[in-house]
């Protein structure tokens, strides 16, 4: 095992940040998600695998939890409060590990898969026959860590009874993404090159040093190995901050949203652009739904006015100097319109086709996580995890994406609802981006944090609504950082 000094220093800095916010490692965990290509160490025994820094945070959380007296009681309450989702997570882990061990051996030599060529420094992919590999272990481990995050966050929320720490964590994540993007873009404009390259200590095939520009635009990759990964994270962070601003009118969230919007555009990522279009479409539908219900928010009016002003300004520039739009048209053509017919797109389509054929050849069991390369999270889930694993992931996605029913919620629970709904928006954007380009079936730490947040908020909304029906006036949701149990409510 080789330890990276820079990665270790970043890990310590994140722990200090968490201590400052008293985040119980949630803030450190969420902020570490912005360091997508930063690893603390490299495992040579697993083919040079270098787990990103965020994979260590759930393990640290588990180590701390062991020394807490109430941990097993809190875990039992998680199973009691959210039985369907919690058991689904655990069964999913069993399916993942059984599939990773059994499928590559049971169907060895019978299925054509695409694997990364380790001898290729650029991470090239080649066709091969299905067989066990270290990727089965590492990919299963990553997904297990993500799922373990759900259990840790859910137990913490048994004590906290508030999503305040989750909110700080999400905003810290968004802030680091925005700041790293600004630093990366500024350095490239000033001709300083890739100044963030020393922070990318993970053993990935980096695509940041040779492709600084696309169609004349600088490509922003932040702390990720490529612009596409950065763009996907930036648009998910934008979904969180913009949704949170719509609920709370937070000035800081609005400022972050504006910066992240620019960073998404400067990522020049087709995945980010497509996800941004999807987010704008859902935002437009949400505005129409609010108008139909007669519940127009002030933030919606401000957003509509801002969009109208931007469109008017763009039309004025186009009428006065249409040649100024030529670089933008060229960028859209290169990143979106011509992308579908490129050699890269055809190659990725071939990966996905063979991955789906692998599901049929294994009689619905799947080829095992990490066995084949894909270019879509949906295809990866179906082909790697099989029918049973896909059904479990689909159920968990449904729980998160349905969000929280805020119609009958009392005013005291609205701050938590704002966080839960914002987390849901970020997860929806993240999953859509992953469905376009992610090679792994792991929905990620972000997904499982959102799952725990939405489930906890649903429980509190139900308790608050029940208390209101019985005439209680004291909120059932204690203030942030409260470690006590549920306070007794007093009748009106």
| pLDDT digit string, tens, across residues 112-140 | 888 877 655 555 778 888 899 888 998 99
402 Cβ contact list (under 8 Å, min separation 6): none
pLDDT score, position 428:
95
Q: Residues in the chain with pLDDT < 70?
A: 1, 44-49, 118-123, 204-217, 294, 313-314, 317-343, 408, 466-492
pLDDT tens digit string along 357-392? 989 999 999 999 999 988 899 999 999 999 999 999
Q: What tokens appear for 399 in the block?
A: 């729980």
Residue-wise over 453-491: b if at least 16 C-beta within 10 A, else e?
A: bbbbbbbbbbbbbebbeeebeebbbbeeeeeeeeeebee
In terms of Cα–Cα distance, which of 392, 359, 177 is closest to 272?
Answer: 177
pLDDT tens digit string along 48-104? 667 889 888 999 998 888 888 888 899 999 999 999 999 999 999 999 999 999 999
Residue 402 burial (10 A CB sphere; 0-12, 13-18, 19+): exposed
Please, which contacts does 332-335 make with residues 24 or more away whose CB atoms are closer than 8 Å? Answer: 333/215, 334/214, 334/215, 335/214, 335/215, 335/268, 335/269, 335/270, 335/273
Contact 75, 159 (CB under 8 A): no
Domain ranges of the chain: 73-299+345-469
**How far is it, in rounded angstroms, from Cα 237 to Cα 250?**
15
pLDDT score, position 3:
78
Is pTM beyond 0.95 here? Answer: no
Structure-derived torsion over alpha carbons of residues 230, 429, 203, 193, reported in degrees to the nearest 10 = 0
């Amino acid at each position: 095992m080789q330890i990276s000094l820079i990665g270790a220093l970043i890990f310590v800095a994140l722990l200090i940040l968490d201590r400052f916010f008293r985040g119980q490692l949630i803030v450190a965990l969420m902020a570490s998600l912005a360091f997508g290509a930063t690893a603390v160490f490299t495992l040579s025994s697993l083919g040079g695998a270098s787990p990103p820094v965020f994979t260590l945070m759930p393990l640290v959380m588990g180590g701390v939890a062991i020394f807490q007296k109430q941990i097993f009681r809190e875990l039992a309450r998680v199973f009691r409060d959210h039985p369907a989702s919690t058991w689904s997570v655990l069964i999913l882990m069993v399916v993942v590990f059984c599939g990773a061990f059994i499928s590559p051996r049971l169907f060895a030599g019978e299925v054509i898969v695409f694997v990364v060529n380790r001898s290729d420094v650029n991470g090239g992919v080649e066709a091969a026959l299905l067989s066990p590999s270290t990727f089965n272990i590492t990919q299963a481990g990553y997904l297990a860590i993500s799922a373990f995050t759900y259990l840790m966050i859910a137990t913490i929320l048994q004590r906290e009874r508030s999503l305040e720490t989750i909110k700080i964590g999400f905003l810290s994540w968004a802030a680091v993404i925005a700041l790293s993007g600004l630093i990366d873009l500024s350095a490239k404009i000033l001709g300083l090159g890739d100044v963030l390259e020393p922070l990318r200590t993970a053993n990935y095939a980096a695509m940041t040093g040779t492709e600084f520009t696309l169609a004349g635009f600088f490509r922003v990759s932040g702390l990720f190995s490529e612009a596409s990964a950065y763009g996907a994270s930036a648009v998910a962070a934008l979904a969180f901050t913009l949704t949170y601003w719509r609920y709370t009118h937070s000035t800081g969230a609005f400022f972050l949203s504006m910066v992240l919007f620019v960073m998404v555009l400067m990522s020049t990522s087709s995945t980010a652009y497509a996800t941004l279009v999807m987010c704008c479409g859902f935002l437009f539908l949400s505005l129409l739904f609010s108008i139909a219900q007669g519940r127009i928010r002030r933030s919606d009016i401000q957003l509509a006015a801002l969009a109208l002003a931007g469109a008017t300004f763009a039309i004025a520039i186009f009428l006065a100097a249409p040649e100024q739009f030529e670089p933008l048209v060229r960028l859209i053509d290169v990143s979106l319109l011509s992308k579908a017919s490129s050699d890269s797109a055809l190659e990725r389509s071939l990966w996905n086709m063979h991955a789906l054929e692998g599901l049929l050849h294994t009689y619905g069991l799947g080829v095992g996580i990490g066995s084949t390369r894909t270019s879509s999270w949906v295809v990866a889930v179906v082909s790697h995890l099989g029918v049973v694993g896909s059904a479990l992931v689909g159920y968990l996605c449904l729980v998160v994406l349905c969000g929280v029913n805020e119609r009958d919620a009392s005013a005291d629970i609205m701050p938590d609802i704002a966080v839960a709904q914002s987390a849901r928006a970020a997860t929806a954007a993240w999953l859509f981006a992953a469905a376009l380009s992610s090679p792994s079936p792991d929905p990620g730490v972000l997904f499982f944090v959102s799952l725990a947040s939405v489930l906890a908020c649903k429980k509190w909304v139900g308790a608050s609504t029940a208390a209101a029906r019985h005439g209680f006036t004291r909120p059932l949701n204690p203030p942030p950082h409260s470690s006590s149990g549920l306070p007794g409510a007093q009748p009106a």
